[in-house]
Structure 1
Amino acid sequence: MHFYTRTDRRGNTFCFRFDFCKDTDENRPSENLGQVLFGERIETSPYKFSFKADKACVKVCTKSYDTGSREDKLKLDFLKKGMELNYQHHWIVDNMPVTWCYIVEDNQKVCNPGFPIGCLVNQEGKPKDACVINADFNKKNTYYVFNHVDITIHYHSGDETNGMHARLVAATLEPRSIKHSNDENPTCEETPMDIPADFKSNLKVTYTYSVTFKQNDDIRWASRWDYILVSMPHSNIQWFSIMNSLVIVLFLSGMVAMIMLRTLHKDIARYNQMDQEEAQEESGWKQVHGDVFRPPRMGMLLSVFLGQGTQVFIMTFITLFLACLGFLSPANRGALMTCAVVLWVLLGTSAGYVSARLYKTFGGENWKTNVLLTAFLCPGIVFVDFFLMNLILWVEGSSAAVPFGTLVAILALWFGISVPLTFVGAFFGFKKPGIEPPVQTNQIPRQIPQQSFFTKPVPGIIMGGILPFGCIFIQLFFILNSIWSHQMYYMFGFLFLVFIILVITCSEATVLLCYFHLCAEDYHWWWRSFLTSGFTAVYLFVYAVHYFFSKLQIIGAASTILYFGYTLIMVLIFFIFTGTMGFFSCFWFVNKIYSVLKVD
């Protein structure tokens, strides 16, 4: 039995750059597509032991640093920098994260799937990060490296009568800093291993570990992740977020119901009872029936966005639904990303069909350009951004860089499966007639009257994204923490519920603003309905900028570019998704209200 150490691009913790003990005898295990795309790498570890065989203070290796060696100085400086920035080890045994459990306020136990490589006591004598756990870490301007770990393996004895063998159900450790007086025969009882900020004398760091096996038949194999998940104190915050979002949804639903059942019903009934001359004197949304279905400008681009948005929506819905059922749990590493990529590739048909059908509804005839843009525009932007970010990782020598072979495989999936399926969907979409509007369109466009400040396009679009973002910003904090702060994300039930609330909120907020603009006799609703809910992505980007400066400690131009590069990919996908939800809601709303008008 042995450990795997995991590295990823989220914290740039690349173990081959740090001067730790390495295992040179074994090869790296293979990873799935999701792990590779997400930047996760698994390396074999030199910490080895046998099942049920306890070990005490076993030496792994000794690292020496000579003041006369420039290479040694660089290695030690790099290690110090990692301790200062609270870089983390991530270990895996039997596909279980080796967790560091500690007590926080109110005697609450928290288990973190990672532990720091060391810590720092600054020049003022204030301990930072993990240095607060030990009162012996008291020297000013000193680093303390965690060169020893006490590992505890909990196992279930199984049932030999039913053929069930003993299984590992939990793995925890306690990091310690020890200055070994005897490197060959360590006792693991000495004072902490302190490293002065000034490298003035030769230094030796010996890495050791102890292993203890404990039988625990109370934890079943199926629930062996529970002790990690329960220890993360986020559920109360999640429920607060859900209740806050539900209040917004109920408020919007009440507004939409009032418009649909009262205002629109009375207006339509009164309009249909009038003769034509009296109807001409009416104002508001009823007067623009001859222009409301006039094809929008840049209908080609809008149809392409809507096709891609449909593809993203179906992909996200199925992925989150499968995650809620437990098929994409954290125990199955990389499964979430792999599932999302495979679904996106297979859903090219839906993108081509929706884009072609809407483009034909807009009166477009250049079908070849429409199909090509649907297949290549948005995926091309994402791939170019991803390739540039990966190029930076290559230049920096990061182990998180996606190999060239994987990039070729991604291109093969795109060009070999997704693009042909997009063409197939577009073929069936163009074979069908465009969506017939319920009212005829006048030949001469109606003049739009002077608009107030709140019914102008820009203020309406800016206001439209506030409510949807208010429904997700708390959940967004946990998602960003999971991506960038080495925290495991497991709350897919909450995420799926917030996803449904987001769809409803985007739809209802866009319908309300669309109705207000039609009442102001502004019939340019096509692009506005897309941009109103799509503007939520702008708030997402602003929040990501705030998170970067307030929560992360990223230094260097390369790491900053990587953060914003990957953030732009997320913002673009979110923009297309939310914009599509708003557009189709308004499309249904406008068709519904004008289909009941008796217009000659």
Structure 2
Amino acid sequence: MKSLNPRFIFLLSLTVVSSSLGFYLPGLAPVSFCEKEDAKECQKDIQLFVNRLDSVESVLPYEYDAFDFCKDTDERRPSENLGQVLFGERIETSPYKFTFKSDKACVKVCTKSYDAGSKEDKLKLDFLKKGMELNYQHHWIVDNMPVTWCYIVEGNQKVCNPGFPIGCLVNQEGKPKDACVINADFNKKNAYYIFNHVDITIFYHSGDETNGMSARLVAATLEPRRSDFHSNDDKPTCDGTPMDIPAEFKNNLKVTYTYSIQFKQNDDIRWASRWDYILVSMPHTNIQWFSIMNSLVIVLFLSGMVAMIMLRTLHKDIARYNQMDQEEAQEESGWKQVHGDVFRPPRMGMLLSVFLGQGTQVFIMTFITLFLACLGFLSPANRGALMTCSVVLWVLLGTPAGYVSARLYKTFGGENWKTNVLLTAFLCPGIVFVDFFLMNLILWVEGSSAAIPFGTLVAILALWFGISVPLTFVGAYFGFKKPGIEPPVRTNQIPRQIPQQSFFTKPVPGIIMGGILPFGCIFIQLFFILNSIWSHQMYYMFGFLFLVFIILLITCSEATVLLCYFHLCAEDYHWWWRSFLTSGFTAVYLFVYAVHYFFSKLQIIGVASTILYFGYTLIMVLIFFIFTGTIGFFACFLFVNKIYSVLKVD
């Protein structure tokens, strides 16, 4: 039986909603085009938008205007949501404007002149060369659809990349780098070749005249190349041998930017599935599907084995214990003998309760976000929606964070409720914000488009202090009003001495072992998530991500419960922090994998990019640590309460 395709779920839900209720998801409403513009039905002008430029060799993205490209005289910036701003997207209009079904060849956009005696021109050209050296990529948008560069790779496989390079470099040894390998004419040593001409092809669905539906754009591709512009009043041409830009700027230089546009009818692609040609052709897609399914089968099998062992062992253990007399029971050893100490409040209960409150907030936020993404509401076509949804949910979920933290702190016997609620509201968010602010300072200094504007930072602080903090106080108020969670057995006044532990039942080895299985079920997805963040690939498999999320919950819970049971059998009753750290240690494996990914998969160079990578990685690790630790703690908490509630203890 074939698994449900997340794109199919998204398109099905979109079709049902649009047909029954008569509206479209934000950012996904279709636009009709025609040769003669009708203000009510269709439009004939097509505007090409440009986004920020990025590179796999640098974490620093830059705005289109940072480079000396042709600029739109009537530049406009569409309104951007919070997620787009946080991700560093900077969309603006471009001078590339087309008319529907109007093919044109070698259209001049502008000419950039560089004077060898001008320091300003030298700086502009040097920055352009740096962009080509680091393989910075354009990202163009037509009708909310990325303009893709399609090429053939090994195995005669067609790959479409939602971006194309500024240019390329042939080094001093005469070895072409990056895109320069596609053309044998790029053969001068120590020279730069800028792609100043693009052949654009726009595919459209002709529509249905019987229903009065006009044409709609379904695909947009381009072919970048370097060409010389020969001005002719009748027939300008963009042919000739590619002109190189020498590494040393000694002579005056002119670069003319041109384009050719062609419209092709394609009724095989429907508007609702126009993103498929990008998603299906992405590299390693087939490997990803197979690897995810293989990982799911292995993790489900292991989880089933753990559950079966735990259920059978505990069932027999409890049944045998309840059949004994109390005198015989006193001679028993193991988890039954620590019933008077197992609910003894932990050390640093304040910090543990704060982590658990924040973890609850992150868990609910993640669950709702992934569920909405799985249904297609946060698809790649709805730019910035994923991050916007996450931030808004986190802000609104301050109440459960305050409630859980206060209730558990009261269960631990804590009385300093003011400190508890303040730490819940400010500790973890404060660490994240300080790290984020320091990274933003580096982006400001480097002039990157990813730097968050001051106004946005103020807005984030307003959301935090104006909404999240008050809601956290409200949750803490209701949490402290209720009594603490009553344990099923009484706690002895004198702590029981813990016997000598074997190597595997000591805290550190158990915690280290506890994170292996949960990490094993996510590392494949983690690879593609890191690719989408740092290698600028498009991530769209939210259906499988949601399944992996559920399996992560199950695996963290079962691994923590299993190790907790072994420690209790060894008469070690310090399970509070250990249950949190056992599953939370998965975050350490995540960090180790991120370090491996940095050195083995990425080509990032530069101190600033390295600091930014590890700075943002630490934020991810902290959030993941709190999230997984919370899952393990509550699973173990429910388990311990359950097994000790069935004991016949006076």
TM range (shorter): over 0.9
Distance in 2, matches of 1:183 and 1:42, equals 34
Which has the higher mean CA deviation after the structures are superposed, 586-595 or 135-144?
135-144
Distance in 2, matches of 1:512 and 1:239, equals 30
**Deviation (angstroms), 1:185:** 7.2
Distance in 2, matches of 1:351 and 1:458, equals 28
**Deviation (angstroms), 1:317:** 0.8
Q: Which TM-score applies when normalising by structure 2?
A: 0.87
Aligned residue number for residue 95 of structure 1: 144
Distance in 2, matches of 1:392 and 1:28, equals 25
Distance in 2, matches of 1:279 and 1:183, equals 103
Q: Cα distance 1:507–1:177, how it changes in 2: closer, same or farther (>3 A)? A: farther
Q: Is the 8 A contact 1:179 1:194 kept in 2?
A: no
Which has the higher mean CA deviation after the structures are superposed, 246-255 or 289-298?
246-255
Secondary structure of 1:290's counterpart equals coil
Q: Is the 8 A contact 2:292 2:525 kept in 1?
A: no
**Deviation (angstroms), 1:208:** 0.7
| 1:51-110 alpha-carbon deviations (Å, 9 max, x no partner) | 222111111122222333333233222222211211100001111100001111222111
Q: Cα distance 1:228–1:589, how it changes in 2: closer, same or farther (>3 A)? A: same
Q: Is the 8 A contact 2:359 2:627 kept in 1?
A: yes
| 1:391-431 alpha-carbon deviations (Å, 9 max, x no partner) | 22222222322111111211221122111211221122222
**Deviation (angstroms), 1:42:** 0.8
Distance in 1, matches of 2:198 and 2:345, equals 67
**Deviation (angstroms), 1:250:** 3.2
| 1:312-362 alpha-carbon deviations (Å, 9 max, x no partner) | 111111111111111111111001111111111111111111111111111
**Deviation (angstroms), 1:471:** 1.2
Which has the higher mean CA deviation after the structures are superposed, 489-498 or 557-566?
557-566
Which has the higher mean CA deviation after the structures are superposed, 549-558 or 25-34?
549-558
Q: Is the 8 A contact 1:180 1:206 kept in 2?
A: no
Q: Cα distance 1:504–1:177, how it changes in 2: closer, same or farther (>3 A)? A: farther
Aligned-residue CA RMSD in angstroms?
Answer: 1.9
**Deviation (angstroms), 1:125:** 2.8
Q: Is the 8 A contact 2:70 2:95 kept in 1?
A: yes
Distance in 1, matches of 2:232 and 2:252, equals 16
Distance in 2, matches of 1:24 and 1:378, equals 46
Q: Is the 8 A contact 1:144 1:193 kept in 2?
A: yes
Q: Is the 8 A contact 1:59 1:184 kept in 2?
A: no
Distance in 2, matches of 1:303 and 1:227, equals 48
Secondary structure of 1:328's counterpart equals coil
Q: Cα distance 1:243–1:168, how it changes in 2: closer, same or farther (>3 A)? A: closer
Distance in 2, matches of 1:17 and 1:26, equals 14
**Deviation (angstroms), 1:248:** 4.1
Which has the higher mean CA deviation after the structures are superposed, 261-270 or 249-258?
249-258
Distance in 2, matches of 1:527 and 1:323, equals 33
5+ long unaligned stretches in structure 2:
1-64
Which has the higher mean CA deviation after the structures are superposed, 457-466 or 121-130?
121-130
Q: Does 1:116 align with 2:165?
A: yes
Q: Cα distance 1:65–1:570, how it changes in 2: closer, same or farther (>3 A)? A: same
Q: Is the 8 A contact 2:229 2:236 kept in 1?
A: no
Q: Is the 8 A contact 1:147 1:207 kept in 2?
A: yes
Distance in 2, matches of 1:305 and 1:519, equals 27
Distance in 2, matches of 1:449 and 1:240, equals 48
**Deviation (angstroms), 1:19:** 1.8
Q: Is the 8 A contact 2:403 2:476 kept in 1?
A: yes
Q: Is the 8 A contact 1:252 1:509 kept in 2?
A: no
Aligned residue number for residue 209 of structure 2: 160
Q: Cα distance 1:184–1:429, how it changes in 2: closer, same or farther (>3 A)? A: farther
Q: Is the 8 A contact 1:121 1:127 kept in 2?
A: yes
Distance in 2, matches of 1:283 and 1:232, equals 58
**Deviation (angstroms), 1:200:** 3.5
Distance in 1, matches of 2:236 and 2:334, equals 86
Q: Is the 8 A contact 1:309 1:579 kept in 2?
A: yes
Q: Cα distance 1:537–1:599, how it changes in 2: closer, same or farther (>3 A)? A: same
Q: Is the 8 A contact 2:108 2:257 kept in 1?
A: yes
Aligned residue number for residue 411 of structure 2: 361
Q: Cα distance 1:286–1:20, how it changes in 2: closer, same or farther (>3 A)? A: same
| 1:505-544 alpha-carbon deviations (Å, 9 max, x no partner) | 1111111111111111111111111111111111111221
| 1:27-63 alpha-carbon deviations (Å, 9 max, x no partner) | 2222011101111111221111222221111111222
**Deviation (angstroms), 1:247:** 4.1
Which has the higher mean CA deviation after the structures are superposed, 357-366 or 123-132?
123-132
| 1:352-395 alpha-carbon deviations (Å, 9 max, x no partner) | 11111111111111112111111111111111221222222222
**Deviation (angstroms), 1:184:** 11
Q: Is the 8 A contact 1:63 1:205 kept in 2?
A: yes
Q: Does 1:389 align with 2:442?
A: no
| 1:468-499 alpha-carbon deviations (Å, 9 max, x no partner) | 11111111111111111121111111211111
Q: Does 1:290 align with 2:334?
A: no
Q: Cα distance 1:119–1:488, how it changes in 2: closer, same or farther (>3 A)? A: same
Which has the higher mean CA deviation after the structures are superposed, 253-262 or 451-460?
253-262
Which has the higher mean CA deviation after the structures are superposed, 222-231 or 555-564?
555-564
| 1:443-486 alpha-carbon deviations (Å, 9 max, x no partner) | 11111111111111111111111111111111111111111112
**Deviation (angstroms), 1:270:** 1.8
Q: Is the 8 A contact 2:584 2:629 kept in 1?
A: yes
Secondary structure of 1:265's counterpart equals helix
Q: Cα distance 1:596–1:483, how it changes in 2: closer, same or farther (>3 A)? A: same
Q: Is the 8 A contact 1:66 1:202 kept in 2?
A: yes
Matches within 5 A, 1:2-151: 16-151=65-200
Secondary structure of 2:203's counterpart equals strand
Q: Is the 8 A contact 2:398 2:469 kept in 1?
A: yes
Distance in 2, matches of 1:149 and 1:496, equals 39
Identical counterparts, % of pairs = 94
Q: Is the 8 A contact 1:154 1:214 kept in 2?
A: yes
Distance in 2, matches of 1:135 and 1:354, equals 65
Aligned residue number for residue 35 of structure 2: none
Aligned residue number for residue 370 of structure 2: 320
Secondary structure of 1:64's counterpart equals strand
Q: Cα distance 1:141–1:482, how it changes in 2: closer, same or farther (>3 A)? A: same
Secondary structure of 2:574's counterpart equals coil
Which has the higher mean CA deviation after the structures are superposed, 131-140 or 572-581?
131-140
Q: Does 1:566 align with 2:616?
A: yes
Q: Is the 8 A contact 1:537 1:574 kept in 2?
A: yes
| 1:284-314 alpha-carbon deviations (Å, 9 max, x no partner) | 1111111111111111111111111111111
Number of matched residues? 585
5+ long unaligned stretches in structure 1:
1-15
Secondary structure of 1:100's counterpart equals strand
Aligned residue number for residue 495 of structure 1: 545
Q: Cα distance 1:581–1:243, how it changes in 2: closer, same or farther (>3 A)? A: same
Q: Cα distance 1:400–1:258, how it changes in 2: closer, same or farther (>3 A)? A: closer
Distance in 1, matches of 2:445 and 2:269, equals 46
Q: Cα distance 1:177–1:597, how it changes in 2: closer, same or farther (>3 A)? A: farther
Secondary structure of 1:297's counterpart equals coil
Distance in 1, matches of 2:275 and 2:519, equals 32
**Deviation (angstroms), 1:139:** 2.5
Distance in 2, matches of 1:316 and 1:122, equals 46
Q: Is the 8 A contact 1:462 1:535 kept in 2?
A: yes
Q: Cα distance 1:581–1:353, how it changes in 2: closer, same or farther (>3 A)? A: same
Q: Cα distance 1:241–1:355, how it changes in 2: closer, same or farther (>3 A)? A: farther
Aligned residue number for residue 518 of structure 1: 568
Distance in 1, matches of 2:177 and 2:425, equals 50
Distance in 2, matches of 1:233 and 1:322, equals 26
Distance in 1, matches of 2:500 and 2:290, equals 43
Distance in 1, matches of 2:405 and 2:227, equals 61
